[in-house]
Amino acid sequence: MSVFAYPSEVIREAEVPLLEAGVPLMARAARALANIGIDTLTADLGRVTGTRVCVLAGPGNNAGDALFAAATLGRRGAAVTVIALFDRTHDEGLTAARRSGAQVLAFASTEADDDPTSTEAADPSSDSTRTVPARNGSTRAEALRELSRADLVLDGILGTGGRRGLPGHIASLIAAWAPHRTGNLIAVDVPSDLSPDSDGAETRLHADRTVTFGGLKAELVDPRVHEFTGSIDVIDIGLGLDTGLAVAELLDADDLAADFPRPEASGHKYSRGVVGVLAGSEDYPGAGVLTTTSAVNTGAGMVRYLGSPFVAEFVIGVHPEVVSASGRVNAVIFGPGDPEPEFVQGATEALSDSHIPVVIDAGGLDMVGRAEAMIGTWMAERPIIITPHAGELARMLSRLLGEIITAGRIGQDPVGWARQAAEVTGTIVVLKGHHTVIAAPDGLVVLPEPGPASLATAGSGDVLAGILGTLAAIASAEHRYDGDDSPLPHADWARLAGLGVLVHNAAGQRAVSASGFADALTEVVGELIHGAELISGTD
């Protein structure tokens, strides 16, 4: 189900009153981390007893989580080694780890950077958290040996208090360990030194799994950091975060099953929503057919075809339920298959008195300007959902920002560019790709789970436009029939677009061509609308 992501500061602020009230947040976090550690070891080796666990311990509370969890693993029979990487660490956590039998290696001195053979070790008899220099062998070599033979390593170096760039002795230890790594690496809360930048990636940790506490941190949802985070577990430690403060929402198939809009028992075709389709041209009639098929099969109350009579003939030939006479619509789709200007002009003039949502795709994207330039035009004061792929967004932003922006640059930071495009244009931006990113002008991002790569085929985007336009018409009609004149918030449109992408993904799993996706929508939407009722036998 949907998961919200928050800036780290929001999560840190939510912790403060609870900590002041004595709520044991770290104990909750460490318990959940230990359980995941136990599950990981049991899944890999069938046991915890006799396994080897290493903790990379930093100077703060992040190390505290890792050390308390390691103490639990130690009590369950794991041989724990703590590699203390700073001249201080979390006092109580280290004490707990020691009491459970952990050995502690101190690899903290900055001189270790200059001399990789420098030797230091903690006094194992001491409960003190200060590390004590010793001259009994190469600690770096010993740390490397322990890391390389560990079944499980916990990255407790830095958490939400971390700044970019690890001290040299740690970065070099990580780079030296990487080729010899055999066990699982779990990042505690956030991977230390997390960055979307691929430069220097070899000196950063690549976790198999990240166990994050309190709420999903915004920096973890950037598609570019997946190689550093691995899979992500969000552990509820009772912070009670306000979803209004979230900056991103992740959607999956469960959200689609829960929130796909079903027809009302007492509804009629107009209350279900009428979608106008302006797609296809003499050059590209197929786009008109694909977009209309998609709208029909997504379950619109009615589909009006607004393009040329030439294309209308094809469309109505396959879908006799489509209407070509003008009349009321609750949303319009513009652009797939470059419809001729006279039909675009006719349709936009008809829109000028309304505030209905519009989905703009393909050729229609050339109409999109900066938000301030759209004031007073037919595009103002209505929700607009635009659906560029990276190439189209690059072209659009180059025009709007007056600098050359390539599709490659968009690909390096899709979330950032989608946000910028949404802010500049005031529209909901659906940046299509393997990881489709949806951004709203207020900065909110919706990330539907990725669909199958088979979606990357000509005409697939036309099908998506048909789905999005239909869902927009359904939402807009429902809102109107509820008697609500207030505009729906951007977040609702962005989420709706996310559901549309998930419908498209589901169709993509059942076919391999665009017309196949459009046809498969009958099955996908039929299951979403009727599935549970058929099973339960209710009407």
Residues in contact with ligand ADP by the rule CB under 6 A? 389, 432-434, 436, 450-453, 455-456, 458-462, 464, 504
Sequence-distant (6+) residues with CB within 8 A of 331 are 273, 275, 276, 356, 357, 358, 359, 469, 470, 472, 473, 476
Find out whether 461 and 453 touch, Cβ atoms under 8 Å.
no
Minimum separation from the CB atom of position 167 to ligand NPW (A):
5
Residues 395-434 interacting with ligand NPW (rule: CB under 6 A): none
- Radius of gyration of the chain measured on its C-alpha atoms: 28
Confirm or reject binding of residue 70 to ligand NPW (CB under 6 A): no
Of the candidates 37, 48, 52, 59, which one interacts with ligand NPW according to CB under 6 A?
59
Q: How far apart are CA 335 and CA 219, in angstroms?
A: 34
Of 187 and 358, CB closest to ligand ADP:
358
Which of ligand NPW, ligand ADP, none does 367 bind, CB closer than 5 to 8 A by kind?
none
CB of 110 to ligand NPW, least distance (A): 11
Counting Cβ atoms within 10 Å, is residue 205 exposed (0-12), middle (13-18) or buried (19+)? buried
Q: From the list ligand ADP, ligand NPW, none, pick the one residue 167 interacts with, judged by a Cβ distance below 5 to 8 Å according to partner type.
A: ligand NPW
Cβ 54 vs Cβ 104: under 8 Å:
no
Question: Is position 60 an interface residue for ligand NPW (rule: CB under 6 A)?
Answer: yes
Using the minimum distance from each CB to ligand NPW, give the nearer residue, 25 or 147.
25
Applying CB under 6 A, the site for ligand NPW has a residue count of 24
The entry of ligand NPW, ligand ADP, none that residue 301 binds, CB within 5 to 8 Å by partner kind: none
Phi, psi at 180, each rounded to 5°? -105, 5
Partner in contact with 432, chosen from ligand NPW, ligand ADP, none, beta carbon below 5 to 8 Å by kind: ligand ADP
Binding-site partner at residue 60 among ligand NPW, ligand ADP, none, CB < 5 to 8 Å by type: ligand NPW
Sign of CA dihedral 58, 59, 65, 68: positive
- C-alpha 362/C-alpha 307 separation (Å) is 15
Pairwise CA distance, residues 329 & 528, whole Å: 24
Tokens matching residue 28? 């909750």
What does 453 bind: ligand NPW, ligand ADP, none (CB cut-off 5 to 8 Å by kind)? Answer: ligand ADP
- Does 287 carry a binding-site annotation? yes
CB of 11: closest distance to ligand NPW in angstroms?
9
* Tokens encoding 166: 């690890």
Instruction: Label residues 497-513 b or e (16+ Cβ within 10 Å = b).
Output: bbbbbbbbbbbbeebee
Q: Is 217 annotated as a binding residue?
A: no
Closer by beta carbon to ligand NPW, 86 or else 260 = 86
Q: Least distance to ligand ADP from the beta carbon of 352, Å?
A: 28
**Is 337 marked as binding a ligand?**
yes
Q: Which partner, ligand NPW, ligand ADP, none, binds residue 525 by CB below 5 to 8 Å per kind?
A: none
Q: Distance (Å, rounded) from C-alpha 67 to C-alpha 61?
A: 10
How far is it, in rounded angstroms, from Cα 18 to Cα 238?
9
Question: Would you give the distance in Å from CA 274 to the centre of its chain?
Answer: 31
189 binds ligand NPW (CB under 6 A): yes
* Ranges within 127-166 binding ligand NPW (CB under 6 A): 158-163, 165-166
Q: Rounded to the nearest whole angstrom, what is the least distance from the CB of residue 217 to ligand NPW in the complex?
A: 9
**What is the three-class DSSP state of 188?**
strand
Residue 436 is labelled as binding a ligand: yes
337 binds, among ligand ADP, ligand NPW, none (CB under 5 to 8 A by kind): none
Identify which of residues 159 and 388 has a Cβ nearer to ligand NPW in the complex: 159
Q: Which residues are CB-contacts of 438 (< 8 A; sequence separation ≥ 6)?
A: 418, 428, 429, 430, 431, 445, 446, 447, 448, 494, 497, 498, 501
The answer to whether 110 contacts ligand NPW (rule: CB under 6 A) is no
Query: Which residue bears the tokens 């033979």?
Result: 149
User: Residue length, the chain?
Assistant: 539
Site for ligand NPW in 193-252 (CB under 6 A): 213, 237
> Which single residue is written with the structure tokens 């979307």?
196
Q: Which is nearer to ligand ADP, 233 or 366 (CB)?
A: 366
Residue nearest ligand NPW by beta-carbon distance: 159
C-alpha distances out from residue 60 to 56, 85, 205, 220, 484, Å:
12, 11, 18, 20, 51
Q: Is 504 annotated as a binding residue?
A: no
Q: Determine, following the binding rule CB under 6 A, whether residue 532 of this chain makes contact with ligand NPW.
A: no
Query: Which tokens is 212 given?
Result: 């994050």
158 binds, among ligand ADP, ligand NPW, none (CB under 5 to 8 A by kind): ligand NPW
Q: Is residue 478 at the binding interface for ligand NPW, with CB under 6 A as the rule?
A: no
At 481 the three-state DSSP class reads: helix
Q: How far is the CB of 410 from ligand ADP (least distance, A)?
A: 13
Closer by beta carbon to ligand NPW, 111 or else 381: 111
**Residue 36: which residues within 8 A CB-CB, separation 6 or more?**
186, 209, 211, 233
Give which of ligand ADP, ligand NPW, none residue 59 binds (C-beta under 5 to 8 Å, depending on kind): ligand NPW
Residue 5 pairs in a beta bridge with 216, 248
Between 54 and 437, whose beta carbon lies closer to ligand NPW? 54
**Is 434 annotated for ligand binding?**
yes
Which residues are within 8 A (CB) of 265 and not within 5 positions of it... i.e. 6 or more apart?
none
Amino acid 465 reads A
Task: Report what 25 binds from ligand ADP, ligand NPW, none; CB cut-off 5-8 Å by kind.
Answer: ligand NPW
The secondary element (H helix, E strand) that includes residue 360 is strand 358-360
Bind-site residues for (6S)-NADPHX:
287, 337, 389, 462
Bind-site residues:
287, 337, 389, 432-436, 461-462
User: Can you give the binding site for ligand NPW, defined by CB under 6 A?
Assistant: 15, 19, 25-26, 29, 58-62, 65, 158-163, 165-167, 188-189, 213, 237
Bind-site residues for AMP:
432-436, 461
